Amino acid sequence: MSNDTYILIPGRTSKQGVGISEGKYKETYQNEINNLHLAPEDMERLSLSNGDRVRVTSEFGEIEINVMLAKDDLPQGLLFLPYGDMSSRLMGGDTHGTGMPTSKGIDVELSVVKS
């Protein structure tokens, strides 16, 4: 299967806020940051179900991660990944003096990982 190009939008979720009070290494927080959210149209087009694995590649790195259906109105062609270890692997290190790397609108390629 060929790679498809998407725009990755990392960010925080309310569930992360709840999970962090328990600790970053606890199940609630880890489950939140280790799932890539896809629009229903993209899930259907790629024949993906919640829990399937994909490979996401940016110019800075590559990850394999589980997918899940986005619960909010995520437009087709955009991917959402909560801030954490996985999202950091796809961002560059240049902070442009802000202390935070550019993390919005990252061009990525997505491919389905064969099981």
**In this predicted structure, what is the pLDDT of residue 27?**
83
> What kind of fold does domain 4-112 have according to CATH?
Barwin-like endoglucanases (2.40.40)
Q: What are phi and psi of 93, to 5 degrees?
A: -95, -10
Give the tens place of pLDDT for each residue, 39-57: 999 999 999 999 999 999 9
Sorted by sequence, the CB contacts under 8 Å of residue 55 that are 6+ apart come out as 62, 63, 64, 110, 111, 112, 113
Residue spans of alpha helices (H) in the chain: 14-22, 27-33, 40-45, 85-88
Give the model's pLDDT for residue 1: 47
Residue 81 in tokens: 């990944």
Taking only the tens place, the pLDDT of each residue in 58-107 is: 999 999 999 999 987 899 999 999 988 899 899 865 656 665 656 667 89
**Per-residue confidence (pLDDT) for residue 66, from 0 to 100:** 96
